[in-house]
A and B are shown apart, each in its own frame.
Chain A
Amino acid sequence: MRGLTMNLTRRMLMGVAMGGYLLSAGAAMAKTELTFWSWRQEDKTFYQDIIKKFQEKEPDISVKFETYAPENYQTILSTALAAGRGPDVIQARAYGNLESIATPGYLLALDKQNVPELANFPDSALAAETLRSDSKVYAVPFAMQAQLVVYNKKIFKDAGVNPPKTWDELMALCQALKAKNINPFSNGTATAWQNETIVGGLLSSMLGKQFEEDIVSGKANFTDPRFVNALTKLKDVSQYFAPNFTGVDYPSSQQLFVAGRAAMFAGGSYEVANFKNQNPTLDLGVFPAPVLKAGDEALIATYYDGGYAVNAKSDKKDAALKFVRFLATPEYGTAFTNTLKNLSPIKGIKIEDPITQEVAKLAEHSMSYLMLVRFRYQEPSGSVLLQSNVQKMLAGQQTPEQAAAEINKGVATYYKPFQK
């Protein structure tokens, strides 16, 4: 039966490949044509421009950009790779999702020899595209995202308030806004994953880099007072979320903020471009998670979206590597950042957009977006545990201590440092 599937898939893919080959054969006799798969249909124009720029340098290589719906991308990609096909250049995700295609050996390992431009990236970015089992890098990172607080500058100005530095200032600010009949936060918890972004945006400074280090080394676990206290503070501030926040889902909370009916949104830096698209009159700013006491380091939670990888089975590896190297240059990073308003992790890029500049500056003080970066490799993933237990805690169905204990119990089932 397996033979039958393989044959069928293989034949179908060969048919498709053959068709593509015949179609392009006339135009590209002397050229090497690369296929490049992505889930970013909305960025198609950008990538086509980039391909043009690349071709100015490498006229003998042409690149065909093809996209698939994000929810099916991983499935389609892994099916093609499993059949020994797939594109030459692959837009891949990071962390646990990267492992599912890198572990079976579908991707070409990258190093300073075949991609010298890896030197343009900070270590944390490369770590996102590194397979834990062999410590090799498998993709050139493309975007850094951050969890922080986005605020409406106009509402702040009208209410005569400033972005808070400490948690007490945040609480006072919320009270002041509430007194003026303004919703402080538009956040809601009905969409599970929003609970994780809220934690990243609001609690990172109170958790701190040291907490992350202690979790990694096993010196601390999630029942640590730093974690429990931060959750307690989150429970406190949730009274200032959207009205009936337990029933407010992600799109509703975005709408509330975009319509100017709330002052702040705790969430991803990627929201800024999205908010601006929907309401270009919005004047937005960002600030990091408030610190517990003045003088503590203010942090945002960062992670990397994914990277560009080369198919290990491609017979055009040299051309594919050339293209991927181009995608690792500051020139590319600058175009990426300024066109897509997403921060490229490449060092030495020039940022035009003021908010992206601000995010880049805040990123100098950051911790990992913890559950995604460290605990999304096994089930129950840290993200699943954090999302549902914070949701339950904010609904008043369990205490911060219980939430922390549940999260810890789940992670401890596979995380060795917690099992000591």
Chain B
Amino acid sequence: MPVSPKQARTLKHRSWVAFLVVPPIVFMSLFVVYPILSAFAYAFYEWRGLARGEFIGLANFREVLFGATMGPVVWNAFLHNVYALVALMIIQNGGGFFLAWLLYKEPFGFRFHRVAVFVPVVLSTIIVGFLWKLFLNPNFGIVNQALYSVGLDSLAKPWLGDSSTALGALILANAWHFIGFPTLVYLAGMQRIPSEIVEAARLDGTTEWQLLKGIVWPLVAPSTTILFTLLFIGAFNWFEIPYVMVGLDGSPFGTTDVLGLVFYRTAFGNQSASIQNFGQGSALATLLFLFIVVFASMLTLWLRRREIQF
């Protein structure tokens, strides 16, 4: 049967689409979907090391959430994740918003600052973690040295060893690392606001605060949606900075423990102290995944609704 030119075009078009779509789908299924599904399946079995044992239904999930040993550890870590989320929302995203506003107004040297603020984001998290660990070293770190040199000896602390400051120190290190990202996204959002709106507001004699609150903040809502959602996901998957700076145990005595560390310790074991339990690790990973998917979707939907078209 002869093929009409139109049919040939469609065929060509279709094979082109297939060529573009199939490889990523295969890649995603093999390296993303399949591992997630197998982790889900693993969670229903008992494990001896890496040898799969009996099917035990929901026992792993029960132990992770309510067990006498795992339960308190998991909830303790969960609270720290929530704490980090709230603190980073204020410091990292809030700080980013104000930094963006400063850069938006193009002060002297703004081109330099625009780059400078983003540089830490480019550094590897592992390097940032080690760097801050050195800065915060109680005896030769620059933070304490700086305090000593200006006579504030009483404020010097073993930052990462003190249970009242350790988690805060991790959060600040994280904010230092990533604040350039919200700054850049907000800056782009602000530059998208039509200048006549801002000028009109200025002509009407609005104060800076009214301008920020009434015009800029609502009009950068799409940026807020993205940033809040990403931070939510990041805060509950938080691992690298705590791992590098305080180790797998959430030292000191669990006061910096987060779910990522608990998962790693549980699934792969902690060389220096514990044994591996793949089933409970998978159960925790599954719960964490479901939690993030459900809440991140709800958060996105809610944030989307407050976005304004212009």
Residues of A at the B interface (CB closer than 8 Å) are 1-2, 5, 70-71, 74-75, 78-79, 81-82, 96-97, 99-101, 103-104, 188-193, 196, 242-249, 252, 376-381, 383-384, 387-389, 391-392, 395, 397, 410, 413
A192 touches B51 (CB 8 A): no
A395 touches B51 (CB 8 A): no
User: Which residues on the A side are within 8 Å of B162 (C-beta)?
Assistant: 246-247, 395
B51 touches A104 (CB 8 A): yes
B157 interface residue per 8 A CB criterion: yes
B138 touches A248 (CB 8 A): yes
- Known contacts A75-B268, A244-B158; is A190 also within 8 Å of B275 by CB? no
Residues of B at the A interface (CB closer than 8 Å) are 37-38, 41, 48-52, 68-70, 133, 136-139, 157-163, 246-247, 249, 251-254, 268-277
- Known contacts A75-B50, A104-B48, A395-B163; is A190 also within 8 Å of B252 by CB? yes
User: Which residues on the B side are within 8 Å of A100 (C-beta)?
Assistant: 48-50, 275-276
Most buried by B among A104, A377, A388: A388
A248 touches B139 (CB 8 A): yes
User: Which residues on the A side are within 8 Å of B68 (C-beta)?
Assistant: 413
The residue on B at minimum CB distance from A197 is B272
Q: Kindly identify which residue among B49, B275, B276 contacts A104, using a CB–CB cutoff of 8 Å.
A: B49
B254 touches A388 (CB 8 A): yes
- Closest 9 CB pairs between A and B? A247-B158, A247-B161, A100-B49, A244-B138, A246-B161, A193-B272, A78-B50, A247-B138, A192-B249
- Known contacts A1-B37, A97-B275; is A391 also within 8 Å of B139 by CB? no
Nearest CB in chain B: distance from A176 CB, A: 22
Given A101-B49, A196-B272, 9 further pairs, Cβ under 8 A: A70-B271, A100-B49, A104-B51, A192-B253, A248-B161, A379-B69, A384-B249, A392-B163, A410-B69
The residue on B at minimum CB distance from A79 is B50
Report the bound CA distance from A97 to B137 in whole Å: 33
Most buried by B among A103, A104, A247: A247
A242 touches B272 (CB 8 A): no
B50 touches A246 (CB 8 A): no
- Known contacts A100-B49, A191-B247; is A379 also within 8 Å of B161 by CB? no
User: Which residues on the A side are within 8 Å of B41 (C-beta)?
Assistant: 1
- Known contacts A1-B38, A189-B252, A192-B247; is A78 also within 8 Å of B272 by CB? no
Nearest CB in chain B: distance from A1 CB, A: 6
User: Which residues on the A side are within 8 Å of B273 (C-beta)?
Assistant: 192-193, 196, 376, 381, 383-384, 387
Report the bound CA distance from A376 to B276 in whole Å: 11
Report the bound CA distance from A252 to B271 in whole Å: 20
The residue on B at minimum CB distance from A247 is B158
B253 touches A395 (CB 8 A): yes
A387 touches B249 (CB 8 A): yes
- Known contacts A189-B161, A246-B162, A395-B252; is A78 also within 8 Å of B51 by CB? yes
Q: Kindly identify which residue among B49, B70, B253, B277 contacts A397, using a CB–CB cutoff of 8 Å.
A: B253
Nearest CB in chain B: distance from A242 CB, A: 7
Report the bound CA distance from A410 to B72 in whole Å: 12
